[in-house]
Amino acid sequence: MTDVIHLLPDHVANQIAAGEVVQRPASVIKELLENSIDAGGTNIKILVKEAGKTLIQVTDNGKGMSVTDARLCFERHATSKINSAEDLFSLKTKGFRGEALASIAAIAHVELKTRQEDDEVGTCIRIEGSEVVSQEVCVTPQGSTICVKNLFYNIPARRNFLKSDTVELRHIIDEFQRVALAHPIIQFSLYHNGSELFQLPEANFRQRIVNIFGGKTNEKLVPVQEETGIVKIHGFVGKPEFAKKGRGEQFFFVNDRFIKSPYLNHAVTAAFEGLLRDGVYPSYFLFLQVDPKSIDINIHPTKTEIKFDDEHALYTILRSSIKHSLGQFNVAPVLDFDRDATLDTPYEFSNKAVTPPKVEVDHNFNPFRNEGSGKSGFSYPRERSNSGSWESLYTGLGGNGQEKISGFEQVEFESEEVTGNLFGSSDSGESSTTFQLNRKYIISTLKSGILVIDQHRAHTRILYEELLKNITITSAVSQQLLFPLLLQFSKHEIELLKEIKDSLEQTGFIFSEIRKDSVEISGIPTLISESEVAILLEQLLSDLENEVPGTGFSQIDTLSKSLAKGMAVKSGTILNSAEQQNIVNSLFACKETTLSPNNKPIFTTLTVEELDKKFM
């Protein structure tokens, strides 16, 4: 038999390795940023076009590379970070595999310009699909600049699997934020299609968090600090009242490297037990410093998963540290029997001089003096001379109806009953044809049986078609706010809001001003309350980022789905007969009555024949 095993060509092996390291443009950003940090860069600039599909350029002012190093860095397993297997257990750098640049060069057009401090000129290398096209001398500043163009140009199947620009940019920003948070002393800037997204100066950790997530973030942070023989912990957690529905503001860093750990995440959640509403997640930005020999970061190609020697001890220490911080800063209730809160001295009284109390005495006061007589003696209660005068107050209101006060012939008293009806009450006396089951389903009768409707899905379908009509054809009615709402968002969320601003205004929102990190809203749709606006917009932005919306109708469709879901009546809400009937009638007036916008069934029927079989 002939031999069937053979060695793969280098360009094929590189493409296979690229599938592990480079999954999308954000993967390239991560690898290039880590190389710039390892090179000692203090000012790193990232330029991105079309969410990285066309261009990714990373420029740093690090130590640069020599001519030989510039050529060798694109070879597989070529690295300056480790020399032996033992070095894997004492890593202090970001990259160490030597696969990143080789993998990137295998699937894109790459151009590298680099120069060391002592060299007069630098080196420029161009590579296309692992093949070196040119290598020449060039004039370039100290450091390195790497341009990655036409990502996945030679693997069209991988390129077709990339999401929309909005989603890919979201992943790029996520990777950028992770690296920028881990290194607050380095200046970072990020530009997309010529517009500035982030300009982060050198700062401390708290300032870096505020620069990324907005000025209002500062008041939401609670510091966490703990030092033990196993781990050093420092960072911040968010106050429970600012918890969000998404997990976007959850960051773990181990030895300045971002990691994902469901186990440690559970420790944080356990520390917040009893403080969070259902369906929301706490924010945290936590640094863990451990002995490099006690962890293994070589278990995943992207190095975002770490294996700890003693996870249980880390879990316990982390949970206790966060609980202590929440109690120390009066975020969580604590039981301390040795402390009397009434004895706490306000800060403004710390330097205030002590003034003795003054007692004023009225020397002319005599409790035994008679009123009007001026003589001393016991004073007894006097009888009121007009003890029967109270009867005169009710003159004219007798029951015989002979005396009446003008203007009060018919007095109507307002009922104190609070009905909470949305559609008013019906006085027709007709018996209702619908009723509510378990505060979730609406039961209606049919000629052939009964109809069971999911009230939330039905109302979502009604609002979805109404919103689509408002956005595409007519404008919705808006209710003006007496005091405008000022909502805080990140820079990326502000850019996304600007894209959908016109569509939101068609649904009833009125934006009086949009700033760099905040939005002022002076009008909202009539179907939602003022307290729901922030939650609704936050959920909308999350849906737009994660549900792959494109341009045109697909973005409008996603917007309508998200708004309808947030505005629809929830399961557990009590509906009166008129509200139930209104939902039933409005549902069957829709173009699509059987499925919700998320393609889930809205109602089911139970015929008389099916009921008869139940009793057989």
For residue range 521-541, list pLDDT tens digits in order: 999 888 788 888 888 888 888
Does the structure show a pLDDT above 80 at 341?
A: no
Please state which of the ranges 98-112, 349-363, 402-416, 446-460 shows the lowest mean pLDDT: 402-416
Residues 473 and 324 in one domain: no
Q: Backbone phi, then psi, for 584, in 5-degree steps? A: -60, -50
Please state which of the ranges 27-41, 257-271, 506-520, 551-565 shows the lowest mean pLDDT: 551-565
- Give 392's pLDDT tier (boundaries 50, 70, 90): low
- Judging by beta carbons within 10 Å of its beta carbon (0-12, 13-18, 19+), is residue 363 exposed, middle or buried? exposed
Mean pLDDT, residues 400-405 taken together: 50
Sign of CA dihedral 37, 38, 42, 48: negative
Mean pLDDT, residues 39-57 taken together: 91
Q: Which residues contact 494 (CB under 8 A, 6 or more apart)?
A: 514, 515, 516, 517, 518, 519
Residues 193 and 309 in one domain: no
Does the structure show a pLDDT above 80 at 333?
A: no
Residues 221 and 284 in one domain: yes
Does the structure show a pLDDT above 90 at 59?
A: yes
Does the structure show a pLDDT above 70 at 227?
A: yes
Residue 478 inside a domain? The answer is yes
Q: Which of 280, 298, 328 is the last residue of a domain?
A: 328
Does the structure show a pLDDT above 50 at 591?
A: yes
Q: What is the structure's pLDDT at 183?
A: 92
Structure tokens at 95: 């990259």
Residue 208 inside a domain? The answer is no
Residues 195 and 236 in one domain: no
Structure tokens at 376: 């001393």
Q: Could you tell me which residue, 137 or 375, shows the higher pLDDT?
A: 137
Q: Quote the number of domains for the chain.
A: 3
Q: Could you tell me which residue, 87 or 453, shows the higher pLDDT?
A: 453
Q: What is the structure's pLDDT at 531?
A: 83
d(CA 432, CA 429): 9
Range of the domain at 478: 436-604
- Kindly write down the DSSP assignment for every residue of 54-111, as one continuous string: SEEEEEE-S----HHHHHHTTSTT--SS-SSGGGGGS--SS--SS-HHHHHHHSSEEE
Residue 372 inside a domain? The answer is no
Q: What is the structure's pLDDT at 456?
A: 92
Q: What is the structure's pLDDT at 601?
A: 92
- Give 186's pLDDT tier (boundaries 50, 70, 90): very high
Average pLDDT along the chain: 80
Give residue 536's identity as a one-letter amino acid code: L
462: domain CATH number is 3.30.1370.100
Does the structure show a pLDDT above 70 at 43?
A: yes
Q: What is the structure's pLDDT at 489?
A: 83
146: domain CATH number is 3.30.565.10
d(CA 51, CA 190): 12
User: 65-79, 127-141, 323-337, 350-364: which has the highest mean pLDDT?
Assistant: 127-141
Please state which of the ranges 121-135, 203-217, 359-373 shows the lowest mean pLDDT: 359-373
Q: What is the structure's pLDDT at 423?
A: 47
Please state which of the ranges 64-68, 258-262, 407-411 shows the lowest mean pLDDT: 407-411
Q: What is the structure's pLDDT at 363?
A: 82
288: domain CATH number is 3.30.230.10
Q: What is the structure's pLDDT at 430?
A: 45
Does the structure show a pLDDT above 70 at 299?
A: no
Q: Which of 132, 166, 200 is the last residue of a domain?
A: 200
